[in-house]
Amino acid sequence: MEYLSFTKMQIENVGKTVLDLHLQQYHCSESLIRALWPFIIPEEELSPRILKIAMPFRGGLGASMSSHCGGLTIGFMLIGAVYSRTDLAGDGRLAPAFCRQYWKMFLDEFGTSNCTLLRGGKPGPEAPSRCGCIMVRSAQLVLKFFNKIHAENQDLDSIYSFKLDRTKEPCHEQVIPMKSSDEK
């Protein structure tokens, strides 16, 4: 199986890149796909079609503010771009299993994947806004995830059998969404 790995400098650079895109006013999903794609899929140009596909994943899915962060969903998209199948002859279990592992890392890092809950905190040292901080840390987390699976080199049965425990994460349906930037 092909594994990707990234240097500490690449991980730092993806954080700087995503912050720059965020400061240009790109939304989370737009910033993350633009920043991460050249690191993860450097042999392919990031097409306008992929940019269009990724854009509505912003703001807790569809700018609803009530669901999963773009840092999680764009991570899923890129894990899928590397490890998903293209037809029925391919492995339909690998990418979802890796996504569950990434989701655990995301929850370990942030405590939740809910957009409203994530954005409710104070900014950190990474960026002037809370969302910017989340984007920087999420972009870096995606590359760290690829390093983790490269270093662990797990057997397929271990990968497939990974269970995600979300029992400590607040239920998304019980969170009152914050107002989206799309709302006047």
Report residues of the chain scoring pLDDT below 50: none
Residue 62 DSSP SS3: coil
Strands (E), the chain: none
pLDDT of residue 137: 96
Q: What is the pLDDT of residues 116-155, one digit of tens each?
A: 888 887 888 888 888 999 999 999 999 999 999 999 999 9
For residue 37, give every residue at least 6 positions away whose Cβ sits within 8 Å of its Cβ, in sequence order, or none: 46, 50, 78
> Environment class of residue 100 by beta-carbon count within 10 Å: exposed (0-12), middle (13-18) or buried (19+)?
middle
